[in-house]
Amino acid sequence: MRVAVLVGIALILMAMQSVLVKILGLDSARLGIGLAVVVFLGLRIGDIPGALGAFAVGYFLDVLSGYPSWLYPFLSVAIFAAVRIISDFADSESRGAYTAIVALAVLLHALLAGAFAWLTGPLNSSASVTLPAIALEAAITALAAFVLWPLFRLIEPKKGREERGALI
Partner 1 sequence: MRKFLFNNIDILVLAALMGIPLLLYLTAGHKGRKLNFADRAVLAVAAPIQRLMTNAQESAATGVSTYVALQGANEKAVTCERELATTRTELNAATEAIAENRRLRGILGLADAQPGKHLVARVIGLNPATVHSALRIDRGSGEGILVGMAVLSATGVLGQVIRATDKSADVMVATDPTSRVGGLIQRSRVRCSVSGAGGGHPLRLDLVRRDEDVLAGDRVVTSGTDGVFPKGLLIGTVVEISRTNGGSYLSGTITPAVDVERTEEVVVLTSPSDISDPRIPDAKGVAP
Which residue ranges make up the site for partner 1 (CB under 8 A)? 11-12, 14-23, 25-34, 47-48, 51-52, 54-55, 58-61, 63-74, 77-78, 81, 110, 113-114, 116-117, 120-122, 124-130, 133-134, 137, 166-167
Helical segments of the chain, H only:
2-24, 33-44, 47-64, 71-86, 95-120, 131-155
In angstroms, give the least distance from the CB of 86 to partner 1: 15
Q: In angstroms, what is the minimal distance from the CB of 35 to partner 1?
A: 10
Q: How far is the CB of 2 from partner 1 (least distance, A)?
A: 19
152: number of Cβ within 10 Å = 20
Amino acid type, 108: L
Region class of 160: left (phi > 0), else alpha (psi between -120 and 50), else beta? left
Between 48 and 147, CB nearer to partner 1:
48
> Between residues 147 and 153, which has the closer beta carbon with respect to partner 1?
147
Handedness of CA 17, 146, 150, 40 (dihedral sign): positive
CB of 111 to partner 1, least distance (A): 11
Contact yes or no for 103/138 (Cβ under 8 A): yes
Residue 116 or 146: the one with the smaller Cβ distance to partner 1 is 116
Between 28 and 94, whose beta carbon lies closer to partner 1? 28
CB closer to partner 1 out of 52 and 100: 52
Residue among 141, 145, 167, 110 nearest 40 (CA): 145
Residue 102 is which amino acid? Answer: V
Rounded to a whole number of angstroms, the minimum distance from the CB of residue 43 to partner 1 is: 16
